[in-house]
Amino acid sequence: MARPKIRHLAIFARNPKTMAHFYETAFAMEVISKAPNDTAFFLSDGYLTLAILPHRLEGEAAAGLNHFGFEIEDLDAVKAKFAEFGLETPKARPAERPYAEFRAADPEGNQFDLSVHGFQKTETGHDRAAKKKELV
């Protein structure tokens, strides 16, 4: 099995548009997707995807790092490793989410995404299901 790679980070920001502009300008990152009304931005350096998500005072999470993501080859192998640690099985993400297929947590509860299709392009669960139908 290939070594999983961290390919995705997510940050809660009070002003996602300003933060996205900062990362574009300071680090030459490219906006690869954004939510309607500029409420969330997804940037890439060609390797890592950075999600800048809106932070709201009524939310449960503080501003700052929210989660990160691993690109993996074999979900079943990763699930087996989780079982060895007595951890909860990774849960499917909503089909309309464009990157990761699953969400998991480490022994301390830090959340991370797991993606077999990768973080390099926007592709929802609906897109993946449509591709499978085309192959049949």
pLDDT at 49: 92
Distance CA 119, CA 47 (A): 9
Q: Is-contact 130 123, C-beta < 8 A? A: no
Q: In CATH, which superfamily holds the domain spanning 5-135?
A: 2,3-Dihydroxybiphenyl 1,2-Dioxygenase, domain 1 (3.10.180.10)
User: Which residues of the chain are modeled with pLDDT < 50?
Assistant: none
Say which DSSP state 15 is in.
-
Distance CA 21, CA 45 (A): 14
Q: What percent of the chain has pLDDT over 70?
A: 99
> Is the pTM here over 0.85, yes or no?
no
pLDDT tens track for 47-65: 899 999 998 888 777 878 8
pLDDT tens track for 9-21: 999 988 899 999 9
